[in-house]
Structure 1
Amino acid sequence: MMRLAEETADDWWEVEALLDLCFAPGREALSSYRLREGVAPVAALCLLARDDDGTLAGAIRNWPVRIDTAHGRKWALLLGPVAVHPTHQGEGLGAALILRAVELAREGGWSRVLLVGDLPYYRRFGFARLKGVGMPPPTNPERILGLELREGAWQGVTGPVIRALP
C-alpha cells in the first residue's frame, strides 16, 4: 500500500537521489530546469509516495511559471519532474501522483498546467499540445503540453514561458 504525502524540506535530498536514478545525469541541463532556478516549488503540490516501510517510491514536483502574452502575464504550473523508482514502475504510481497533484492544483485555484513530455502518455490525464507557447531552447515544440484546470484557461494564451521571479 502506498501513502501519498506532501514533500518536506527533510525529503529534498532523498527526492534528488530518486531523480538522479530515474533520469540522465545531465537532467539539470534541460530547459525546464532553467525555469526552476532560484524559484521555490509550490510546496503543497510536491508529493511523495512511500511504501509501507517508508521507502520512497515516487515523487512529483510543481513550479510556478509565467507566460508573457500580448495581453499581459498569465501564470501556470510547470508539472515535473515526476519520478517512480524502477522497482515500482508499471504499478500506476506515476499516474496517481499526477492525478493527485492536478486535483490539489485545481482546489488551490490554479487555472492551467504545462509540462514538457510525451503526448501519448499525458493525453490520458487531459493534456494536449500547446501551440504558441514557447519554452526555452532546446525544447521540441511538439512536447509542450497543457491542461486546463478551468474551462478556457489556455484559450488565447501564447508567448514565451518565463521563470517566475523569486
Structure 2
Amino acid sequence: MTDLNLTILPESPNDAHAIERLHERTFGPGRFVLSAYRLREHVDHLAELSFTARIGTLLVGSVRQLPVMIGETPALLLGPLTVEPPFRSRGVGRLLLDRAISDARAQGHKLIVLVGDEPYYSRVGFKKIPKGRVTMPGPVDAGRLLVLELADGAFEGVSGPIRPDWSKAR
C-alpha cells in the first residue's frame, strides 16, 4: 500500500500545534464555518482514538474522532482526516483510517459518522445516510453524510440531530 517508512501512533498533547498547522495548510481558514467544526467547538476529540502518521519525526497526517450523539445514540464523528499533499495517494490516509476504525471497534464503539467523499470512504465500509434521517448544525451536503456500523445493525432505528456528547464537554 505504501512504500513509506510510516509510523501510526496515538495522538499526544505534544502533537496539537503540528496538527493545527497541518489543518491550516490543508483546509484553510474556511474550515471553522463547516458543520463538523461547529461540533468540535464544545467537546474535545478523543486522544485515544485519534492518530498521527509520521515518517521519522515528520508529521505527515492526522485523524481525529469526537464523541457525538445522533439523537439519543452515542457515536463518533471522524475527522478531520488529512495528509500533507506530497504524501497523498500513497496509502497514508487509508492507514490512519484503518487504525481509527479498528481501535474504535476494539473500544466498544458502535457507530462512526463523518462528512466526506463517499467514493473514498466507502472502501472501508462507510455508507450514505438516507437524506433527512440525520441532521447536523449548520449547512451540510446530505450526500456527504456517511455512517459506518462497527457492530451489525448498530444504525437501525437511529435518527435525529448530531450534537456534541455533552457528557464529555470541556
TM-score by length of 1: 0.94
Instruction: Kindly provide the amino acid, as one letter, of the partner of residue 150 in structure 1.
Output: A
- Ranges in structure 1 where 5+ consecutive residues have no aligned partner: none
For this pair of structures, how many residues does the alignment match?
161
Q: Which residue number corresponds to residue 146 of structure 1?
A: 147
Shift of 1:133: 1.0
1:67 aligns with 2:66: no
Which of 47, 55, 58 is 1:43 aligned to?
Answer: 47
Instruction: Kindly provide the amino acid, as one letter, of the partner of residue 43 in structure 1.
Output: A
Q: 2:165 & 2:38 partners in 1: Cα distance? A: 11
Q: Which residue number corresponds to residue 61 of structure 2?
A: 58
Shift of 1:158: 0.9
Q: 2:55 & 2:62 partners in 1: Cα distance? A: 12
Shift of 1:22: 0.9
Shift of 1:134: 1.0
Q: Which residue number corresponds to residue 7 of structure 1?
A: 11
Q: What whole-Å deviation, never above 9, does each CA across 1:78-117 have from its counterpart, x for those lacking one?
A: 0000010111111010011001100000000000000001
Q: 1:138 & 1:113 partners in 2: Cα distance? A: 20
Q: 2:88 & 2:29 partners in 1: Cα distance? A: 19
Q: 2:120 & 2:76 partners in 1: Cα distance? A: 19
Query: Aligned residues: percent identity?
Result: 42
Superposition RMSD on alpha carbons, in Å?
0.8
TM-score by length of 2: 0.92
Instruction: Give the 3-state SS of the residue equivalent to 2:29 in structure 1.
Output: coil
Write out the 4+ residue segments of structure 1 that deviate beyond 2 Å after TM superposition: none
Q: 1:162 & 1:85 partners in 2: Cα distance? A: 29
Instruction: Give the 3-state SS of the residue equivalent to 1:19 in structure 2.
Output: helix
